[in-house]
Structure 1
Amino acid sequence: MHAYFRWLFMFCWILMASHAQAEPFKIGLLVWSDQIAGQVAMRAGLEAEAAHLQQQARDKNLPSFTLDIKLAGDGPAGVEKQIQQMQAMVDDRVDLIIVQPTDNAALSSPLQAANQAGIPVVAYDQYISGGHLSAFVTSNNYQAGFLDGEYMAHHFADDHTIQIILVEYPYVSSTIDRVDGFFDALNQYKQPYRILRSYQAVEPVQGRAVGQQILQDFPQPGSVDALFTINDGGGLAIVDELEKAGRHELFVATIDGDPNSVARIRKGSIIKIDSAQFCGPIGAEAMRAAYAILTAGKVHEHWLVPVFPITRQSVAHYPGWSGPIPEHYSNPCLTFLCRI
């Protein structure tokens, strides 16, 4: 009789364990903006990879998962919303969280809550300070800024003090790294420069307002030599305002590789260089990292995806946001790319 009950107990335990293993993993995805085109492309790459992994799981009888997507939105309201969204996912005890942070510091508390609950967190595009990330996938943003600064230094005479307007967004890691790389390049090439004024813009509404403000603050052609903007999300709207006002003397360096920016470079716009991301592969890599953590337990914690400097000389070689990243890819700033 005792053997019978032991057998029955073991049978029930195995049945419950098999049922538990059959339950799909619950993955929460927190995305920032649906207005910043590069971020939309990252999400598209992530969702395409998720669909691929889900099909592979069905075909090969591998662990499956569900993807619960929450959009934060732009501005301070988006930051606050994402804090609440991430904390709600921790409270719901999802198996893993993928997040494109709206702010480096603001998500520290929900990240720490996830750490305490044993929920792995994968961040892409931006970093989160004040907690542990199981994986972080982003562009080589320092390289992007450096390539812009390098190209600008080649454009102006060595003894010319470049009069620069800076458009920044000092709340997330990617844009901070881009600014650092840009000015490090100017300093490395011993190019004199002066920052005339700094503005903040990361999306189109802010960009239009900044473009109009620049025209008010610097109405005279020739009063500004160059503008460095940390992304196309805000930068393209700024360029729209400047070109409508006839400020074709300006040299604009930007970052992202938005198709609109690429088209403008082909036509000879005031955008002279755009250090482009491979947005689709960033999103896809974040999804692959998340699935590997759930199924294998551990992955590399930090991926840096290279960028590509688009100029009129190099634009034909850029494969676009979706990639693929060129094989044998190293430092892309070759002589033919940097030649004015």
Structure 2
Amino acid sequence: MDGKTLVRRTNFTRIIAACAFIFATAASAGPTVKTLRVDVLYWSMNIPGQVAMRKGLEQEAAAINRDADKKNQPRIELTPYIAGDGSAGIERQIAQMFEAVKRKPDIIIVQPTDNAALAAPLRAANQAGIPVVAYDQYISGGTLAAFVTSDNYQAGYLDGEYLAAHFPDSKELKLILVEYPHVSSTVERANGLLDALRDYRQPFRILKTYEAVEPNSGARAGAQMLRDFPATGSVDAVFSVNDGGGLNIVEALANAGRTEIVVASIDGDPKSVDNIRAKRLTHIDAAQFCGPLGAEAMKIAYALATGKKVAPHHLVPVFPITSETLQLYPGWGGPIPPRFAKPWQARVPYWEGTVRPAK
């Protein structure tokens, strides 16, 4: 064998060995793990509770990715959209969801701005085979893969239960409702309040309803309320479906010296908690666990995207903040505390803090 032939054979052997090493390394690393594309449609970044929900969702996504890296499981890549407030936000979110469907992500998570408005893009997602998880609000029309929300009926019911315990049974409660009939969560809150007053046989008369769900509409409602009911004692209680609008109503009433009015609200905004602590009109605020709510939506979406089965509807409990329960409340971020005895008369004497499938 001449020298040239020996060199060619040696080089060929080296190439074969290098290829074998590459194939062995690839085999030991296992198959390439897919990155799951998740489009997330947020409602508002002006309502603090919704900002906290986003934070909880994105922190959970980061935790899932850390765990996935350790276990060689699918990671998450989030693409966020923000709709904004009011009718413009509703229209923007419709367009955003159609855009998300065109992108064909593995799953869509959405906090709807309106129950009915997203029916058409939801049906488009259904036709494209893209599962959709809604959180906080429902979508009427089309099929959701899962729905995660605070127990909004419980929130309204706790407020109504508290009001019934606060006022004498013989008194007709002069009540103002601050509502928002465009999304399921706020409708359920109002229904829970009214059902509790009826269940506890508390006489009441609704003096007037106002619509408010964010700061500007809350300020307008508060100003109009004072014009409509200027006399001290003309209103016993105001129920607001959320703190987004309710805080500015409390501000208007407090500035006008209407300290006789009992305010019951929902959300658990830190400013509302401060009002309870200072005994400034707000007597009860049924607080959402906003961080855990967003995290739960992300957990469920990841489970669905990785082929697991989940219950179609999950309820995250709400916490009744009063001056007596303040020391038990951990804040929007959680964690959800253990059960405790309600410090007012109630047919169900204990509050239970468990995430549960809806019946």
Which residue does 1:247 correspond to in 2? 258
Which residue does 2:312 correspond to in 1? 301
Answer whether contact 2:266 2:287 (CA < 8 A) is retained: yes
Deviation, structure 1 residue 209 = 0.7
Deviation, structure 1 residue 278 = 0.7
Answer whether contact 1:207 1:236 (CA < 8 A) is retained: yes
1:336 aligns with 2:347: no
1:87 aligns with 2:98: yes
Which residue does 2:118 correspond to in 1? 107
Answer whether contact 1:313 1:337 (CA < 8 A) is retained: no
1:70 aligns with 2:81: yes
2:212 to 178, 201, 206: 201
Which residue does 1:312 correspond to in 2? 323
Deviation, structure 1 residue 57 = 1.5
Which residue does 2:144 correspond to in 1? 133
Deviation, structure 1 residue 337 = 4.5
1:231 aligns with 2:242: yes
Deviation, structure 1 residue 134 = 0.8
1:257 aligns with 2:264: no
Partner secondary structure for residue 44 of structure 1: helix
Partner secondary structure for residue 284 of structure 2: strand
Over aligned residues, Cα RMSD in angstroms?
1.7
Paired letter, 2:287 = A
Unpaired runs of at least 5, structure 1: 1-10
Deviation, structure 1 residue 229 = 0.4
Q: Matched residues in 2 for 1:232 and 1:65: separation?
A: 32
1:37 to 23, 44, 48: 48
Task: Could you list the structure 1 runs, at least 4 aligned residues long, displaced by more than 6 angstroms after superposition.
Answer: none
Looking at CA atoms only, which structure, 1 or 2, has the larger radius of gyration?
2
Deviation, structure 1 residue 23 = 3.8
Answer whether contact 1:309 1:337 (CA < 8 A) is retained: no
2:281 to 267, 270, 276: 270
Paired letter, 2:104 = R
TM-score (norm 1): 0.91
Deviations 1:61-100 (A, max 9, x none): 1111210000000000000000000011101111110000
Q: Matched residues in 1 for 2:90 and 2:306: separation?
A: 31
Paired letter, 2:57 = L
Partner secondary structure for residue 272 of structure 1: strand
Q: Matched residues in 2 for 1:318 and 1:67: separation?
A: 31
Deviation, structure 1 residue 35 = 0.9
Paired letter, 2:314 = W
Answer whether contact 2:165 2:344 (CA < 8 A) is retained: no
Q: Matched residues in 2 for 1:78 and 1:251: separation?
A: 32
1:25 to 33, 36, 41: 36
Paired letter, 2:187 = I
Deviations 1:25-67 (A, max 9, x none): 1100000001111111111100100111111122221111210
Q: Matched residues in 2 for 1:337 and 1:71: separation?
A: 40
Q: Matched residues in 1 for 2:278 and 2:237: separation?
A: 19
1:181 aligns with 2:192: yes
Q: Matched residues in 2 for 1:294 and 1:182: separation?
A: 37
Deviations 1:287-323 (A, max 9, x none): 0111111113321211101111111111111111111
Q: Matched residues in 2 for 1:63 and 1:187: separation?
A: 50
Partner secondary structure for residue 268 of structure 1: coil
Unpaired runs of at least 5, structure 2: 1-22, 347-359
Deviation, structure 1 residue 232 = 0.5
1:49 to 60, 83, 101: 60
Deviation, structure 1 residue 106 = 0.4
Which residue does 2:127 correspond to in 1? 116
1:286 to 289, 292, 297: 297
Deviations 1:115-142 (A, max 9, x none): 1110000010001111111111111110
Paired letter, 1:60 = K
Which residue does 1:59 correspond to in 2? 70
Q: Matched residues in 2 for 1:335 and 1:284: separation?
A: 27
